[in-house]
Amino acid sequence: MKILVTGGAGFIASNLVDKLIELGHEVSIVDNLFSGKRENINQRAKFYEEDITNSPGLEKVFQQEKPEIVFHLAALPLVASTKEPSEDARVNIVGSINLIILCKDYKVKKIIYSNSGGASYGEPLFLPMNEEHPLKPVCPYAISKHTVEHYLEIYKKDYGLNFTSLRYANVYGSRQDPFGEGGVIAIFTNKLLKRERPTIFGDGTQIRDYVYVEDVVNANIWAIDNGGGEAYNVGCGVGTTTQEIFDVLNKEISSNLQPIYECERIGDVKECILDSTKLRKIGWFSKYNLREGIKKTIEYYKREYAKETRF
């Protein structure tokens, strides 16, 4: 199939592109390289350096590629959106609307949307949180990401544009940016490999549900033929504190460093564990537990660190 992936130079999307190409699909990528990296781009994919907020430029891609399936992963990152909420709305909402309209106009069979489960639900009323949990976003990023689901629902009802929305837990694994402000496993791993002390924001008791990137990719692949018009949580259903993540990494890397503790960040929820029963009932499952995923992640960053220090 002809498939378009927005944000295809980014962490999750580049892993998805690799899998789609491995499965024999013809893949094109749209990415403005704001947070994506050129080195992540699969050479067998067709790359367009374009911004989803530029509707005329985006339409040229649709005219050229005529995609059958669109995976929408392009977004302004969480921390950046907190600092610039108007830019967050412009990219995450208006940019997504541009894409949805083009999917309708060019008769795309389905759009598969990457949403944030952890951010969208807000502070939990119960744990684990299933798809029926009230949506009470606590930061601009969460508001904008969830808002897009409403547009997808309207365009399915009014125009028959099929969609699946995947609400992710905390995704980690290869190609996650270790120099950003989100993604503690990547950040901690990079710091510990370089014998530097990582920073924990808060007291380390924050609880998150961590899901390995390959499992998230497989959920996206599953969604090509399943889950039309529905939202699904994608997580492991297991809560792990930030302190526990640090302790596991410290042990696996054979480090005895201690973290630096700083104030909690605005917009961070205290607990997030997702119930993915709805997705599991129709065929998806998480292949990797946290220990297995962390070991694979450490090996990836060891290879990257070796490249940096080779010369």
Digit-coded pLDDT (tens) for 80-115: 777 899 999 999 999 999 999 999 999 999 999 999
Eight-state DSSP code of residue 139: S
Q: What is the model's pLDDT at position 266?
A: 76
Q: What is the model's pLDDT at position 311?
A: 41
| DSSP string computed for 79-136 | HHHHH-HHHHIIIIIIHHHHHHHHHHHTT-SEEEEEEEHHHHH-S-SSSSB-TTS---
pTM of the predicted structure, to 2 decimals: 0.96
- The per-residue pLDDT of the chain, averaged, comes to 95
Taken in order 73, 28, 14, 50, the sign of the CA dihedral is negative
| Helix spans in 229-281 (H) | 242-252, 277-280
Weakly modelled stretches of the chain, pLDDT under 50: 311
Terminal alpha carbon distance of the chain: 42
Catalytic entry in 48, 113, 121, 141: 141
Q: Which two tokens stand for residue 304?
A: 């990257």
Which domains does the chain show, CATH number per domain? 2-169+212-234 (3.40.50.720), 172-208+238-309 (3.90.25.10)
Is 232 designated active site? Answer: no
3-class state of residue 165 by DSSP: strand
Distances (CA, A) of 169 to 10, 49, 134, 236, 259: 17, 28, 16, 8, 24
Q: What is the model's pLDDT at position 119?
A: 84
Q: What is the model's pLDDT at position 310?
A: 53
Q: What is the model's pLDDT at position 13?
A: 98
Q: What is the model's pLDDT at position 309?
A: 65
